[in-house]
Every structure is written in structure tokens, then in C-alpha cells.
């Protein structure tokens, strides 16, 4: 017996002609993440920075693998804001630079990013942002194109790895033409999807830097700022025209002879997802990025009877098409309800929307137990979450990283998770209104990223709260990137001393413990006891991540890391 | 069964850490060796923590989309029986499923079973449910991959065994797949891994592509 319903139509392939899916010996299979890293290297960047986060982590990891550390300085920054600011400085000083992060990381860097656009850059500055429209591994699905609109910068969105490479190479040139940072927007599929990539000859890149003093550009007091925003505003039309004329946009109108003129309006992966299922006479406008070329979009939409809009994320292109469409032109997409309102585009719904058939006649999926992310078996987190489960009437704001797994079954001991470092900020508010049993749970990488300022506030305001700082010596959730208290490989610096750092903040106490020695009941008692004391108490879990930092902490003394012992 | 193909879709699934990505990389690399185009996509991040991992490899003369829709996979390869059942709706009506007979029960289900002291019973019941789902498909091949790997003295080579067995069902010359897989294994594990690969290849005799050689593939 076999399932005989809703079989895909056999592909009638209509390849976009300007796409470089030409094979040959020179092409290699690369993911979008790898392709942008290769492009940055080939563009001659001197500096690259990032903070780890899915789906953008592989970008800097790949660049570190590809590049010579003497030629390209690659840095896992303390957070996205510092990553962006460092890259900005290099580009203003005349050397190409490159910075990557996930979509919610741009929230952290947004202050620096937004305020860097008025003055702009000198050498090429490319910001790659990895969006996660399906929330595979993120708190939210936010669409980076909204930041593009706020900043007035130019954004390019590739449809596959080859285009990710070509766009990134081109982005450095465009950045130098408009003197603005350029955003490359990847989405989970373009970040991880692999296609053959042909690289182009490398640029040498500037060997020396020149840090300018140009207060009329970079000292953005109100009078300077107003003038600079006028420049960005005037640039929008020119940039939109550049997008329309670039090799990354493509237009083919539906033939007039064949009844209803149907066309696909798309950006990013939309063209790749629909190509195989389009009737031969269908039209297509692929828009390479933003600002949207309104004239081109308007003329395409109005040359058709029916348009299907395919874009990952929010319905920005669809809104534009609806605004530009004359009466009688049908615009379909997420707003019209032809595609589901949120989440990644699914091939099945695209096929149904193109063919006009309903795709719901599949048999229901078998009733199978869900598979949730789990804490690795030997991890000391089991003891911590088991201990929290024994405590009653506690408030447990938690944070990003492996510690958030304590919010899932079988433990389910977390009250909530918001943004990087929010555990301590939320604990501050609860302490201000007098909650007696607060324990904020945060990991080491997140603490360095955004946990120190709220800790200072808690001490300063004399809040009574407990911080359970889970230090496993690595950013484990994203695959074990370095953190500030580990050696960076720099011979004069062996990493930040975590205990001295916390001590210097003036907390009531900082108690390091080894979860495997103390055990679940011991941890429970330690936390319980901390509630009876005034002020800020830091309970410092110190235990290796069995996967990414084995042997990092000494066995005999959890107060010292292996490096601290060697000193 | 077709031997002359336009586009061939392989879906590989399993749990984080089992080697789904290794299997898909080896297939994509071998497909590239044969001068056809390959796409691969994968889910990562949270799923590295024991969650479901899925990767798709597509090859043919003109691939554009990195993902496939329902009823589009020519072959599904699975390292975990529960994950195979989860993605079965992606298989073509005449597609082939090649799966491990074993599965890892999700932790939250396991603790419920343990609380009821019915772990073994429940595990076996879920196993039977999975097998009956597979039995409803014509082209389902269920393999005891851990046993094959153990017999080849390569206990950790479950993914090696899967790819060895898979080489019978892919329109890629087995030598190409073998070579690209071998190149991805650390030198110290190569011998044992290839033993598991060959053991699985040997016990999987049937193949629609038995006579296929690299030079017969479309350029």
C-alpha cells in the first residue's frame, strides 16, 4: 500500500539565466555561511568579528578556517555591539571589514549600527545577518529588513550560496560607492543550503590604515546629523535603481497570449523555491534587495493579472506590491491568506498556491512522541535543575544558552527567558518590589555579553537576589566558541579572571561550587541558604562542558580554572 | 525503477550527534564528483542537543531549491527509526526507505515510562508501532545498523553502515561514494569505518543501479 495523493507535479525547470549555476572544475560545494566567509576573504578584509548564534555561527568559524591569522584578524567578540563597533572602526580607517551575527544579535548592535549610518564608512563594511523565520533556534522570527528601512542602508538577500558569494563580493564595492554599511540578509535555508560556488579572483585589500578626523561626518551632534540624514534620504532612489539594474535582480514577464498572465514576485530564496514548479509561460520578478525599486515592481505587477509574492519573513514585498497594484490585479501571498502568515516558506504550499489546488489531502501524520532538545547526559546542569525542582515558591528568570534547556521537560523549572542577560535585569525588577526568593540563572558567555551591567545595578540598588552563574568555560549551545575568561591565544592575556571580576563588583558573596561534588541536594541547600542573606549572592557553578571544554576546570579546586592554576 | 534520472532527492535524518551531516556531506561530495549538482540543507542549533536533524541532498542537471516538498524524496536514509517515521510523508509513493531498526526514546517520554515502571514494555510497543508504519510502505528496508557495525568491529560506525547500505540505492557509482566518504573520516578511524561500510554494502545486495558507472551519468 502506498500513499497516492498530492504528488508533486513533475518539475518544468526554468532556470533564471543570470544565475551562475554553471558547473565546472572551479566550483565547490559550499553553504551560504561558507560562501559569504569565502567572499569576505577574497574581498581582502583585514578584520572580521562576530558573536555566535544560529544560523550565523558558521560564518566566522569558516573564515577562521580559511584565513591566515597574520592577514585577517578574526575575533569572537564579547557581544554583537562590540563586534559591530570594531568592524566599523576598521572600515572608517580605510581597510575592508566584515561582521556577522544572528537576527536578534542585531538588536544588541542596533544602537551602534543605526548611529553609524549617518557618517557611514570609507572602506567596504559588510554586515551579514542570519534570520531564522521559522524560529528553529531563536526566541523570535524578526525580519532584518525592518532595520534596513530604519537605517536607510542597502540590503542584499541571496537565493543560494553562489549568490551569497557574489553579493558579498559586490557589497564591498557598493559600500565604497555609497559610503554606507551594506547588509547581507541570510535566512536559515540560505545560510545552511549548499550549492556549487565559483569564486572570483581575490582583491589584495588595503595594507595600511588611515584613521581620519572628520567631525562633519562622525561627530553626529544634531546639526551634523540632520545634514547627513538628508544625504541618506537622497541616496534611496539611486540605491533602488542600482538594485533594479544589478545582476541580482531578474525580470521576465508572462506571455500575453496565454490567457491569465501569472507572475511570481520574489526576493531571496523565493525564486529558488518556486523555479521548479512554474508553468513555462509564468512571469518572474526577482528583486535582489532593498530599498525596493518601486518603479520596476509597479510595472511588473501591473503587467500581470495575478501575482504570487514569495519572501521569507514578513510581508514587506507583498505590502509594496499591493500598494502599487492597479485595481483588478490580484496580489496573493501571506496577507491574502494563500500562504501561512508566519514561518518559513514551504514547497508544498508554494506548489498549491501556483497550481491553485488545495494541498490538504495528505493523510494525517502518525501520532509520534515529539523530540525536544535535551541536556547532554554527563552535564552538571542536571544536578542544578534537579535542585531547583526541589525548591518551592522561587522566581527563576533564566537566560539564553544551554541553561534555557532547564525550562523544558523533564525539569521545567524556568519561569521565562527573554533576551541576553535579561535573567538578572528581570530579577532586579522583582527584587525592587520585594520578591523574597529570586534566583536568576545565566551562563558564562551570556554573563560576559550582557549580564554585568544588571549585576552592577543590583549591587548599587542593594537588591536581595541570587545569581546562579553556570560557568562551563564555553559558549556551548552554539558549538563551543571561546569566552572571555579563556585564553584567546594571545600570549599576554590568559583570559578574564571570573572570580576577581565578580568580587570587584561588590557582591555580598561569590561561592564557587563543583556540581558533581556538591550534588543535587547540596546545590538545593546552597540556593535555599542564599535566600536568607541580604544583597547580591553569586553562586558560581564551575564545571566543564563535556563536549566543548573537557578538562578545562581543575578537578581538585573549582575556584581555579586550569589556566589560573598554571600561573 | 528508474535508472535514468532528472533530479534525485535524498533525505537523511537522525538525531544530533549521530552523524547525519557526515552522511549528507559524503553523498553531496560524491554527487559533485560525478559532475552533477548537489544541494544540501540542514537544521542546526538547538537540535544539536539531541533533537531531530534533517538534511536533504538533491542532485541532477539543474537543481535550484535546497529543500523538497512532501512526496518528493526518492530515498530516505535514517539513523533512528522514530525520526524515519516522522519524515515518511516526504517519500515518493515509489520511494525507498532505508532505516535503522533501533530508536532513541525522547527523554521526557522515557521519564514518564520510568515513573510507570513500564519502560521496556512501552519501548517495545512504540517499536512495533514504527515497524507497522514502515510495513505499510512497499519499499522499506529496515536494517540493524548497530549489529552490522559491531560485527565489523566498529561500534561507533552506525552511520558508516548506513552509508554503505545506501550506496546500493543511490544513482552514484559506489566507488565514488566510498572515496568521498573515506576522505571525510579521520585517518585513525578509516580502517574500522570502511569495514562497517563494506559489511553493510555486502548484506544489501539488491540495487536498481547495480551497473551504474560514473561515466554513464549525465555531465
* β-bridge mates for residue A510, sequence order: A538
Task: Name the pairing type of β-strands B52-60 and B37-42.
Answer: antiparallel
Give the one of B47, B93, B105 whose C-beta lies nearest to A4's C-beta: B93
Q: How many CB atoms lie within 10 A of CB B110?
A: 17
Chain A / chain B CB contacts < 8 angstroms: 171
What ipTM describes this predicted complex? Answer: 0.86
**What pLDDT is stored for residue B217 in this prediction?**
40
User: Best-predicted range by mean pLDDT among A535-544, B36-45, B85-94?
Assistant: A535-544
**A544: Cβ–Cβ under 8 A, 6 or more apart, which residues?**
A472, A473, A550, A551, A552, A553
Distance CA A290, CA A154 (A): 6
What is the average pLDDT across B38-66? 75
Position A19 scores a pLDDT of 35
pLDDT at residue A412 tops 70: yes
Closest CA to B108 of B165, B50, B58: B50
Confidence at residue A275, expressed as pLDDT on a 0 to 100 scale:
85
Q: What are phi and psi of A41, to 5 degrees?
A: -60, -45
For residue B203, the model assigns a pLDDT of 82
| Percentage of residues of chain B with pLDDT beyond 70 | 84
Chain A nearest-CA distance from B23, in A, is 14
pLDDT exceeds 90 at position A390: yes
Q: Determine whether the interchain pair B48/A55 forms a contact, defined as Cβ–Cβ distance below 8 Å.
A: no
Distances (CA, A) of A567 to A471, A493, A558: 20, 11, 15
- Chain B partners within 8 Å of A28 (Cβ): 32
Residue among A163, A243, A176, A222 at smallest CA distance from A203: A176
pLDDT at position A6 is 32
Can you tell me whether residue A295 is helix, strand or coil?
helix
Residue in chain B closest to A53 (alpha carbons) equals B45
Please judge whether A31 and B40 are an interchain contact, meaning their C-beta atoms are less than 8 angstroms apart: yes
The model's confidence at residue A510, banded by pLDDT at 50, 70 and 90, is: very high
Beta-bridge mates of residue A561: A553
Best mutation target, B64, B139, B140, to test chain A (most A CBs within 10 A): B64
Report how far residue B206's alpha carbon sits from residue B31's, in angstroms, rounded to the nearest whole number.
21
CB contact A18 to B (< 8 Å): no
Distance from CA of A24 to the nearest CA of B (A): 8
| pLDDT single digits (tens) A121-150 | 999 999 999 999 999 889 999 999 999 999
Rounded mean pLDDT, A187-198: 92
The residues in A 271-290 lying below 8 A from B, measured between CB atoms, are 271-276
B47: which residues sit within 8 A by CB, 6+ positions away?
Answer: A136, A137, A373, B16, B53
pLDDT at A31 over 80: yes
Of residues A251 and B35, the one with the higher pLDDT is: A251
In angstroms, the separation between the Cα of residue A273 and the nearest Cα of chain B is 5
Per-residue pLDDT, B85: 93
Helices (H) and strands (E) in chain A, counts: 20, 20
| pLDDT at A359 > cutoff 90 | no
pLDDT band at B216 (very low <50, low <70, confident <90, very high): very low
Which one is predicted more confidently, B167 or B208? B167
Across all residues in chain A, what is the average pLDDT?
Answer: 90
- State the average pLDDT over residues A327-353: 94
Give the end-to-end CA distance of chain A in Å, rounded to a whole number: 69
User: Dihedral of the CA atoms A254, A255, A257, A259 (nearest 10)?
Assistant: -20
C-alpha cell at A531: 535566600
Q: Which residues contact A45 (CB under 8 A, 6 or more apart)?
A: A72, A95, A96, A97, A98, A205
Q: If DSSP codes are grouped into helix, strand and coil, which group holds residue A91?
A: helix
State the Cα–Cα distance between residues B48 and A477, nearest whole angstrom: 8
Can you give the C-alpha Rg of chain A in angstroms? 26
pLDDT at position A21 over 60: no
- Give the β-pairing of A536-542 and A439-443: unpaired
pLDDT of residue A25: 42
What's the mean pLDDT when you consider all of chain B? 82
> Above 70 in pLDDT, residue A78?
yes
CA–CA separation, A381 and A9 (whole Å): 49
CA dist., res. B122 & res. A130, Å (int):
41
Contacts of A275 in chain B (CB under 8 A): 64-65
pLDDT for the residue A12: 33
Report the distance separating Cα B192 and Cα B189, nearest Å: 6
- Closest residue in chain A to residue B37, using alpha carbons only: A196
> How far off is chain A from B185, nearest CA to CA, in Å?
18
Range list of H helices, A13-142: 32-42, 57-66, 80-92, 103-116
Average pLDDT over residues A418-422: 97
* Average pLDDT of span A99-115: 98
Could you tell me the sign of the dihedral formed by the alpha carbons of A321, A155, A420, A380, in that order? positive
User: Cell numbers at residue A132, please?
Assistant: 531564522
Phi and psi angles of residue A553, each rounded to the nearest 5 degrees, phi first: -95, 150
Task: Report the phi/psi class of residue A430: left, alpha or beta, with left for phi > 0 and alpha for psi in -120 to 50.
Answer: alpha
Q: Give the mean pLDDT of A142-171.
A: 97
Report chain B residues whose CB lies below 8 A from the CB of A346: 69
Tens digit of each residue's pLDDT (9 = 90 or more) over B72-104: 999 999 999 999 999 999 999 889 999 999 999
Q: What is the pLDDT of residues A435-458, one digit of tens each?
A: 999 999 999 999 999 999 999 999
User: What average pLDDT does range B46-50 have in this prediction?
Assistant: 64
- Percent above pLDDT 70 for chain A: 90
Q: What are B22-36's pLDDT values in tens digits? A: 899 899 888 877 666
* Surface of B (121-150) touching A: CB under 8 A: 126, 129, 133, 136-138
Rounded CA separation A36/A72 (Å): 15
Residues paired with A263 in a beta bridge: A283, A307
A404 touches chain B (CB under 8 A): no
Q: b or e along B146-177 (b: 16 or more beta carbons within 10 Å of the residue's beta carbon)?
A: bebbbebebeebbbbbbbbbbbbbbbbbbebb
Distance CA A85, CA A107 (A): 14
Residue bearing cell 549521530: B18
Mutation choice for B interface testing from A163, A194, A343 by most B CBs within 10 A: A194
Cis peptide, bond prior to residue A388, ω within 30 of zero: no
CA A269 to chain centre: 17
**Confidence band for A22, pLDDT divided at 50, 70 and 90:** very low
Q: Cell for A4?
A: 497516492
Read off φ and ψ for residue B121, nearest 5 degrees. Answer: -55, -50
The pLDDT assigned to B117 comes to 86
**Max CA pair span of chain B:** 59
- Scan residues 39-98 of B and list those with Cβ closer than 8 Å to A: 39-52, 62-72, 82-83, 85-86, 88-89, 92-94
Q: How would you write B56-71 as a 3-class SS string?
A: EEEEECCCCCCCCCCC
Which of helix, strand or coil describes residue B112?
Answer: helix
Return the C-alpha cell found at A163.
549568490
Q: What is the pLDDT of residue A10?
A: 33
Rounded Cα distance between A1 and A504, Å, is 70
Q: Give the pLDDT confidence score for residue B209 in this predicted structure.
A: 53
Closest CA to A189 of A311, A66, A280: A311
| Separation of alpha carbons B169 and B191, rounded Å | 23
Instruction: Report the distance separating Cα A250 and Cα A412, nearest Å.
Output: 50
Say how far apart CA A170 and CA A39 lie, in whole Å: 9
Measured between alpha carbons, how far is B7 from B58 in angstroms, rounded to an integer?
Answer: 7
pLDDT of residue A410: 86
Residue A511 C-alpha cell reads as: 561561592
Tell me the per-residue pLDDT of A369-381, one tens digit each, with 9 for 90 and over. Answer: 888 888 888 899 9
Q: Which of A412-416, A428-432, A481-485 has the lowest mean pLDDT?
A: A481-485
Whether A68 has a pLDDT exceeding 70, the answer reads yes
The span from the first CA to the last CA of chain B, in angstroms, equals 21
Of B7, B69, B106, the CB nearest to A371: B106
Q: What percent of chain A has pLDDT over 90?
A: 76
The backbone torsions φ and ψ at residue A196, rounded to the nearest 5 degrees and listed phi first, read: -65, 135
Torsion angle, alpha carbons of A450, A400, A522, A565, to 10: -60
User: Across-strand partners of A102?
Assistant: A130
Amino acid at each position: 500500500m502506498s500513499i497516492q495523493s498530492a504528488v508533486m507535479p513533475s518539475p518544468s525547470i526554468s532556470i533564471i539565466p543570470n544565475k551562475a549555476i554553471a558547473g565546472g572544475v572551479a566550483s565547490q560545494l559550499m553553504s551560504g555561511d561558507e560562501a559569504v566567509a569565502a567572499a569576505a576573504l577574497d574581498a581582502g578584509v583585514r578584520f572580521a568579528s562576530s558573536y555566535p548564534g544560529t544560523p550565523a555561527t558558521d560564518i566566522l568559524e569558516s573564515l577562521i578556517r580559511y584565513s591566515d591569522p597574520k592577514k585577517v584578524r578574526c575575533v569572537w567578540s564579547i557581544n554583537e555591539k562590540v563586534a559591530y563597533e570594531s568592524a566599523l572602526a576598521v572600515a572608517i580607517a580605510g581597510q575592508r571589514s566584515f561582521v556577522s551575527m544572528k537576527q536578534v544579535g542585531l538588536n544588541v548592535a542596533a544602537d551602534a549600527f543605526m548611529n553609524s549610518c549617518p557618517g557611514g564608512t570609507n572602506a567596504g563594511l559588510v554586515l551579514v545577518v542570519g534570520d531564522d523565520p521559522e524560529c528553529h533556534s531563536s526566541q523570535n522570527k524578526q525580519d532584518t529588513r525592518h532595520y534596513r528601512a530604519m537605517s536607510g542602508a542597502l540590503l542584499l538577500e541571496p537565493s543560494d550560496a553562489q549568490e551569497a558569494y557574489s553579493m558579498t563580493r559586490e557589497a564591498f564595492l557598493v559600500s565604497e560607492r555609497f559610503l554606507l554599511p551594506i547588509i547581507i540578509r541570510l535566512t536559515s535555508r540560505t545560510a545552511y543550503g549548499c550549492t556549487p560556488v565559483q569564486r572570483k579572483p581575490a582583491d589584495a585589500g588595503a595594507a595600511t590604515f588611515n584613521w581620519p578626523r572628520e567631525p562633519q561626518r562622525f561627530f553626529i551632534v544634531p546639526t551634523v546629523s540632520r545634514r547627513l540624514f538628508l544625504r541618506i534620504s537622497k541616496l534611496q532612489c539611486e540605491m533602488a535603481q542600482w538594485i533594479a539594474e544589478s545582476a541580482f535582480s531578474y525580470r521576465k514577464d508572462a506571455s500575453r497570449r496565454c490567457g491569465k498572465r501569472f507572475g511570481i514576485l520574489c526576493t531571496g530564496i523565493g525564486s529558488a523555491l518556486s523555479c521548479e514548479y512554474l508553468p513555462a509561460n509564468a512571469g518572474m520578478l526577482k528583486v535582489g534587495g532593498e530599498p525596493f525599486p518601486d518603479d520596476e515592481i509597479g510595472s511588473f505587477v501591473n503587467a500581470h493579472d495575478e501575482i504570487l509574492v514569495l519572501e521569507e519573513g514578513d510581508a514587506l514585498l507583498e505590502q509594496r506590491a499591493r500598494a502599487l497594484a492597479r485595481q483588478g490585479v490580484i496580489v496573493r501571498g501571506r496577507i491574502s491568506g494563500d500562504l501561512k502568515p508566519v514561518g518559513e516558506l514551504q514547497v508544498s504550499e508554494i506548489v498549491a498556491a501556483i497550481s491553485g489546488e488545495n494541498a490538504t489531502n495528505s493523510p494525517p501524520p502518525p501520532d509520534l512522541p515529539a523530540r525536544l532538545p535535551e541536556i547532554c547526559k554527563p552535564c552538571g546542569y542536571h544536578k542544578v535543575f534537579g535542585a531547583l525542582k526541589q525548591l518551592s515558591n522561587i522566581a527563576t528568570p533564566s537566560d539564553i544558552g544551554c541553561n534555557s534547556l532547564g525550562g523544558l521537560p523533564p525539569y521545567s523549572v524556568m519561569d521565562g527567558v527573554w533576551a541576553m542577560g535579561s535573567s538578572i535585569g528581570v530579577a532586579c525588577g522583582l527584587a525592587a518590589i520585594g520578591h523574597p526568593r529570586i534566583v536568576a540563572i545565566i551562563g558564562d558567555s551570556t554573563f560576559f555579553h550582557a549580564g554585568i551591567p544588571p549585576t552592577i545595578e543590583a549591587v548599587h540598588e542593594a537588591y536581595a537576589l541570587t545569581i546562579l552563574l553556570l560557568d562551563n568555560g564555553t559558549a556551548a549551545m552554539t558549538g563551543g566558541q571561546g569566552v572571555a575568561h579563556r585564553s584567546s591565544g594571545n600570549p599576554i592575556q590568559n583570559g578574564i579572571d571570573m572570580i576577581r571580576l565578580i568580587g570587584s563588583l561588590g557582591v555580598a558573596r561569590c561561592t564557587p561550587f563543583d556540581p558533581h561534588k556538591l550534588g543535587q541536594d547540596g546545590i538545593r541547600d546552597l540556593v535555599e541558604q542564599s535566600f536568607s542573606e541580604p544583597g547580591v549572592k553569586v553562586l558560581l557553578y564551575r564545571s566543564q562542558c563535556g563536549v566543548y571544554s573537557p578538562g578545562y576546570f581543575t578537578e581538585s579546586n573549582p575556584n581555579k580554572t586550569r589556566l589560573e592554576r598554571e600561573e | 525503477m528508474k535508472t535514468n534520472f532528472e533530479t534525485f532527492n535524498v533525505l537523511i535524518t537522525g538525531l544530533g550527534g549521530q552523524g547525519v551531516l557526515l552522511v549528507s556531506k559524503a553523498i553531496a561530495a560524491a554527487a559533485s564528483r560525478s559532475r552533477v549538482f548537489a544541494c544540501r540543507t540542514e537544521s542546526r542549533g538547538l537540535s544539536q542537543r539531541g533533537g531531530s536533524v534533517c538534511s536533504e541532498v538533491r542532485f541532477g542537471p539543474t537543481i535550484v531549491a535546497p529543500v523538497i516538498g512532501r512526496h518528493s524524496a526518492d530515498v530516505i536514509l535514517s539513523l533512528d527509526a522514530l525520526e524515519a517515521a516522522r519524515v515518511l510523508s516526504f517519500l515518493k509513493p515509489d520511494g525507498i526507505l532505508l532505516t535503522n531498526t533501533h530508536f532513541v526514546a525522547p527523554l521526557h517520554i522515557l521519564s514518564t515510562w520510568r515513573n510507570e515502571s513500564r519502560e521496556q514494555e512501552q519501548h517495545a510497543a512504540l517499536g512495533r508501532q514504527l515497524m507497522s508504519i514502515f510495513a505499510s510502505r512497499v519499499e522499506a528496508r529496515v536494517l540493524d545498523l548497530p549489529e552490522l557495525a559491531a560485527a565489523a568491529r566498529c561500534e561507533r560506525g552506525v552511520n558508516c553502515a548506513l552509508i554503505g547500505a545506501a550506496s546500493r540505492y543511490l544513482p552514484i557509482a559506489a566507488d565514488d561514494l566510498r572515496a568521498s566518504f573515506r576522505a571525510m573520516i579521520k585517518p585513525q578511524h578509516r580502517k574500522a569505518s570502511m569495514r562497517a561500510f563494506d559489511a553493510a554494502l555486502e548484506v544489501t545486495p539488491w540495487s536498481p543501479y547495480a551497473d551504474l558507472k560514473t561515466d554513464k551519468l549525465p555531465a
